[in-house]
Amino acid sequence: MKIKKGDSVKIITGNNRNKIGEVLSVDKKSGKVIVKNVNVVKKHLKASKSNPHGGIADKTLPVQLSNVMLVCPKCSKPTRVHYELSGSNKTKKCTKCNNQI
């Protein structure tokens, strides 16, 4: 998995195209990620004991992993990632600027 929690990603397709946000969580099994302030919908809440008046809440929905691309922190461009082995360490590198991510 090349995208991890805390990485900065850019949405490349869909309604939220060209938005950039931070990854909040990754679900490896379903192949989806939740990105901060991207794919936010309104959810209507019914009145209950914890929420006596009900209301409308914002909810962030997951985005398909194939629809996001990692953004390099140095060159600030969406990029593919390759791994480089140095001894027993495995590091992610940007393919455009060859900087360690």
Which domains does the chain possess? Answer: 8-94 (2.30.30.30)
Q: pLDDT value at position 101? A: 82
Q: pLDDT value at position 17? A: 94
CB 57 within 8 A of CB 45: yes
| Category of 64 on φ-ψ map: left (φ > 0), alpha (ψ -120 to 50) or beta | beta
Residue of 68, 100, 67 whose CA lies nearest to 84: 100
Tell me, what amino acid is at 14? G
Residue 26 — very low, low, confident or very high, per pLDDT cuts 50/70/90? very high
Average pLDDT for residues 5-27, to the nearest whole number?
Answer: 95
**Euclidean distance between CA atoms 91 and 82, whole angstroms:** 8
Q: What is the pTM of this model?
A: 0.82
